[in-house]
């Protein structure tokens, strides 16, 4: 009965067994067996997507709240190696997004190392986990060459932009556009979770309003491909302290998707948060996107 098109899920997490164990030891709850987080076969089977971008999480080792050891770089490498090994098993279905912490001295070294891997690939950065504030000139100076290098290497970037600063939002987007995107070659940039950290709230709306304004004012160089990743936005359950959407929020989200334009939205589940079909159905039934809109979003993701 299910005639919907194949699903390319652009936001699927994997972590090594070591990382799962360390998080468990820190008291972070895992509702399923380790294989659901660490084993590529289990992930693909359970997720139920045809193709995936597999997102590394090695940047957590650069965050002293999570890891205090002196071998953070070594651990990041191991995590990226683990991701590469998993992706290599399914070269046609899986594209790995290697993680770096852009503020670390070894960031560029690790990025260059990952670029040499013999798989398709992308880059993941997490500005909250890595404490990156583009408003800080030293941070901007470190992030800029990474964007440039990714553009030169034609590496798509998945950016968790929200750094949890109370004023995060429009000004950060403006710095990204004016001080990074303005003078680098064409890059494919996906902004995770519609710009914030999951859910759909005033902060997300402010971010999207400003993004729409920048597009309309033609401030974003047209050579770039900018996507908004809808993963973890349309929450129908509370997740990691993020509140689920009310009926009114779901309706409002639909308005925002249309304002932004479905042609700028890509599909992602933020697995293990959701399985592919589960999240597809939420977007269709709870957000109320039409078949045609869903098809566009899935085609964008491909």
Q: What is the nearest approach in angstroms of Zn ion to the Cβ of residue 32?
A: 17
* Number of residues near Zn ion (by CB under 5 A): 1
Closer of 31 and 247 to Zn ion (Cβ)? 31
Compute the C-alpha angle 174/211/202, nearest 5°: 105
Q: What is the nearest approach in angstroms of Zn ion to the Cβ of residue 12?
A: 9
**In three state form, how does the secondary structure of the chain look?**
CCCCCCCEEEEEECCCHHHHHHHHHCCCCCCCCCHHHHCHHHHHHHHCCCEEEEECCHHHHHCCCCCCCCCHHHHHHHHHHHHHHHHHCCCCCEEEEEECCCCCCCHHHHHHHHHCCCCCCEEEEECCCCCCCCCCHHHHHHHHHHHHHHHHCCCCEEEECCCCCCCCCHHHHHHHHHHHHHHCCCCEEEEHHHHCCCCCCHHHHHHHHHHHHHHHCCCCCCCCEEEEECCCCCCCCCECCECCCCHHHHHHHHHHHHHHCHHHEECCCCECCCCHHHHHHHHHHHCCCCHHHHHHHHHHHC
User: Which residues, 6 or more positions from 87, have their beta carbon under 8 angstroms from its beta carbon?
Assistant: 40, 54, 94, 95, 96, 119
Closer of 13 and 286 to Zn ion (Cβ)? 13
Q: What is the nearest approach in angstroms of Zn ion to the Cβ of residue 7?
A: 17
Taking residues 115 to 144 in sequence order and writing x for each that binds Zn ion by CB under 5 A, - otherwise, the string is ------------------------------
Q: What is the nearest approach in angstroms of Zn ion to the Cβ of residue 55?
A: 6
- How far apart are alpha carbons 13 and 10 in whole angstroms? 10
Q: Does 162 bind Zn ion (CB under 5 A)?
A: no
Closer of 110 and 270 to Zn ion (Cβ)? 270
Closer of 220 and 266 to Zn ion (Cβ)? 266
Closer of 197 and 211 to Zn ion (Cβ)? 197
Q: What is the nearest approach in angstroms of Zn ion to the Cβ of residue 158?
A: 8
Closer of 103 and 242 to Zn ion (Cβ)? 242
Q: Which of residues 257-286 bind Zn ion (CB under 5 A)?
A: 270
Q: What is the nearest approach in angstroms of Zn ion to the Cβ of residue 60?
A: 12
- Using CB atoms, what's the residue nearest to Zn ion? 270
Closer of 210 and 270 to Zn ion (Cβ)? 270
Q: What is the nearest approach in angstroms of Zn ion to the Cβ of residue 11?
A: 6
Closer of 53 and 270 to Zn ion (Cβ)? 270
Q: What is the nearest approach in angstroms of Zn ion to the Cβ of residue 223?
A: 27
Crossing angle of helices 202-216 and 247-260, in 10° steps, is 10
Taking residues 222 to 261 in sequence order and writing x for each that binds Zn ion by CB under 5 A, - otherwise, the string is ----------------------------------------
Residues in contact with Zn ion by the rule CB under 5 A: 270
């Amino acid at each position: 009965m299910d005639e919907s098109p194949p699903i390319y899920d652009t936001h699927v997490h994997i972590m090594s067994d070591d990382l799962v164990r360390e998080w468990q030891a820190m008291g972070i709850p895992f509702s399923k067996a380790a294989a659901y987080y660490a084993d590529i076969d289990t992930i693909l089977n359970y997720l139920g997507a045809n193709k995936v971008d597999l997102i590394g999480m090695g940047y957590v080792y650069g965050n002293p709240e999570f890891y205090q050891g002196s071998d953070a770089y070594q651990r990041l490498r191991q995590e990226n190696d683990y991701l590469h090994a998993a992706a290599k098993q399914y070269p046609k279905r899986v594209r790995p997004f290697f993680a770096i912490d852009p503020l670390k001295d070894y960031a560029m070294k690790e990025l260059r190392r990952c670029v040499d891997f013999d798989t398709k690939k992308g880059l993941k950065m997490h500005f909250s986990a890595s404490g990156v504030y583009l408003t800080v000139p030293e941070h901007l100076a470190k992030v800029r060459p990474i964007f440039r290098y990714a553009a030169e290497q034609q590496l798509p970037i998945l950016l968790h932009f929200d750094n949890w600063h109370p004023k995060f939002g429009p000004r950060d987007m403006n710095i990204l556009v004016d001080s990074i995107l303005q003078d680098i070659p064409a890059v494919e940039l996906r902004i995770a979770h519609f710009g914030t950290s999951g859910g759909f709230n005033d902060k997300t709306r402010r971010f999207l309003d400003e993004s729409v304004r920048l597009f309309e004012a033609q401030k974003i160089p047209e050579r770039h491909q900018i996507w908004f990743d809808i993963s973890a936005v349309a929450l129908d359950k509370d997740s990691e302290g993020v509140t689920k959407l009310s009926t009114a929020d779901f309706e409002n989200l639909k308005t925002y998707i249309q304002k932004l334009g479905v042609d700028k939205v890509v599909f992602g589940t933020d697995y293990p948060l959701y399985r592919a079909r589960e999240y597809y159905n939420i977007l269709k039934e709870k957000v109320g996107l039409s078949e045609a809109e869903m098809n566009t979003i899935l085609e964008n993701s491909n």
